């Protein structure tokens, strides 16, 4: 098996299993298992981590490392909580962080975005995630990592996050393009939302790029040229700022990662996403396909 990293590897966005295999013993590498599954999915992310994970990986609990003052699911945590939890995992300044999940590229991108939000740029998602790592017969273990405390400093990058008021204003004035990562049936309103009490449909003027559209059949991310075609084919005006959205702010980050990969850096993520927008009766909702 070749351990040569791919020329497409970028330790600030996406790295291959070859890259990680090559750097696995680096002293300043920290690996996080950020697996998370939709409610009702018959998988237990922490139990899977405890049974087998990439050597040295720590478990990042998306639901726990969040803002528990909010009624919305897994909203971005306060800076102090993020710093405390990461220090407790032995992750801090000067570390190169690689994040993976048990689906391929799904929830890992959410944690990549959280690190970016906290001003950390030496962080990448593992392309293809744990499924690809295991399929290649690479080393796994079930041992807890040895933790050594490392100081962490954080400089929150508020331009990477949008709240409901900011999204409403931008959508109404056409100042940014909202890109929705949910399935076409949820976007058009044909399918009910998995969370009770939410209306169906999408933010007026939004474009639909289901997060799976930016992935290849093997679960790895498409190359930048193909990613650009996906966005443009969905009617996304890449000359405008982008706001990514989804059901609860998880798969929106897959689109954010894809935008970063094509060099479109004027993006932000709507953290409340449809879990928030669909809850408020006074916010406008469109159904059917995206308007021309």
Chain centroid, CA 281 distance in Å: 28
Please pick, among 83, 86, 108, 246, the residue that the annotation labels catalytic.
246
The CA distance from 247 to 182, in Å, is 7
* 183 assigned to active site: no
E-only strand ranges, the chain: 14-15, 29-33, 58-59, 96-100, 123-126, 161-162, 177-180, 207-208, 242-245, 267-270
The residues near 238 (Cβ < 8 Å, ≥ 6 apart) are 228, 231, 232, 262, 264
> Which of 172-186 are b and which e, b meaning 16 or more Cβ less than 10 Å from the residue's Cβ?
eeeebbbbbbbbeeb
User: Distance between CA atoms of 47 and 51, rounded to whole angstroms?
Assistant: 6
List, by residue number, the catalytic residues: 246
């Amino acid at each position: 098996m070749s351990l040569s990293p791919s020329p497409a590897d970028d330790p600030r966005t996406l790295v291959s299993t070859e890259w990680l295999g090559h750097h696995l013993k680096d002293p300043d590498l920290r690996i996080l298992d950020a697996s998370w599954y939709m409610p009702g999915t018959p998988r237990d992310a922490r139990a899977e981590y405890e049974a087998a994970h990439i050597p040295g990986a720590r478990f990042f609990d998306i639901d726990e490392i969040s803002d528990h003052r909010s009624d919305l699911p897994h909203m971005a945590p306060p800076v102090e909580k993020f710093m405390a939890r990461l220090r407790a995992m032995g992750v801090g300044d000067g570390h190169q962080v690689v994040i993976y999940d048990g689906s391929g590229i799904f929830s890992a991108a959410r944690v990549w975005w959280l690190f970016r939000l906290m001003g950390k740029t030496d962080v990448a998602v593992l392309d293809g995630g744990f499924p690809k790592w295991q399929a290649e017969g690479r080393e796994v273990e079930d041992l807890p990592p040895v933790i050594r405390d490392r100081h962490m400093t954080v400089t929150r990058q508020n331009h990477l996050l949008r709240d409901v008021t900011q999204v409403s204003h931008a959508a109404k004035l056409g100042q940014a393009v909202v890109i929705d990562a949910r399935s076409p049936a949820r976007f058009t309103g044909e399918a009910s939302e998995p969370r009770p009490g939410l209306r169906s449909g999408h933010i007026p003027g939004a474009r639909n790029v289901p997060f799976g559209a930016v992935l290849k059949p093997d679960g790895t991310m498409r190359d930048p040229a193909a990613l650009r075609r996906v966005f443009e084919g969905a009617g996304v005006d890449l000359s405008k700022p982008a706001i990514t959205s989804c059901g609860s702010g998880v798969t929106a980050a897959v689109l954010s990662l894809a935008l970063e990969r094509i060099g479109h850096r004027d993006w932000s993520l709507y953290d409340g996403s449809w879990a928030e927008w669909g809850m408020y009766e006074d916010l406008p909702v469109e159904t059917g396909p995206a308007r021309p």
